Amino acid sequence: MYKYEKKLNYPINIKNKDLKMAKYIITQLGGANGELGAALRYFCQKFSMPDEKGKALLNDIACEELGHVEMIATMFRQLIKGASLEELKENGLDSYYADHAKGVYPIDASGVPFSVMYFASTGDVLADLSEDMAAEQKARAIYENLIELATTEDIIGPLLFLRQREIVHFQRFKELYEYYEKILKNN
């Protein structure tokens, strides 16, 4: 069912460590509006879609979101590469280091661990797709905030790519919502 291509959706090649940016970027891994939550949300919701069209779309986007998880994790690791313990402490990553060293762990920018409470799967097609559209808009807004915080093109480029994908996902969910809305009105 799945085929893993050993390349990122967009090349990540961050040349210089930036521990403050690493602390911000991690929110798109484990934050309430991050990529891990999106992947799990769409994967779980696909089973309630009434036809193959909806199931396929949610599955495809869930898989793409897993690719985005990989991109964010890669960015985080490159941003902390070569950092000393003192540098981690100076940038507020000492608590993170205590539990995870330099490993990748899903938290938000404040250090709150990922929770499945960040998303719902109601079984109601229109309710779930409404949540999906809102989630994509929130993720887009966070990417825009991260772009404003970023200072180098090797960080901004991938963030712009991820932001654009949120816009595309929103549009696909909106189209599916409108499709099901028409079908449900006629039944």
pLDDT at 187: 73
Give the pLDDT confidence score for residue 6 in this predicted structure: 85
Low-confidence ranges of the chain (pLDDT < 70): 1-2
Going by the DSSP 8-state scheme, the letter that residue 46 receives in this structure is G
| Burial class of residue 117 (count of CB atoms within 10 Å of its CB; 0-12, 13-18, 19+) | exposed
Distance CA 120, CA 132 (A): 10
Reported as a single tens digit per residue, the pLDDT across 75-123 is: 999 999 999 999 999 999 999 999 999 999 999 999 999 999 998 899 9
For residue 1, what pLDDT is reported?
Answer: 59
Instruction: Report the percent of the chain where pLDDT is more than 70.
Output: 99
| Spatial distance between the Cα atoms of 145 and 161, rounded to a whole number of angstroms | 14
CA separation for the pair 69, 75 (Å, rounded): 10
Q: Report pLDDT for 31.
A: 96
CATH architecture of structural domain 19-185: Up-down Bundle (1.20)
- Which of 7, 5, 18, 6 lies closest to 154, judged by CA? 18
Residue type (1 letter), 121: S
pLDDT of residue 82: 97
Tokens 């690791």 correspond to what residue? 77
Query: Given this model, what pLDDT does residue 5 score?
Result: 79
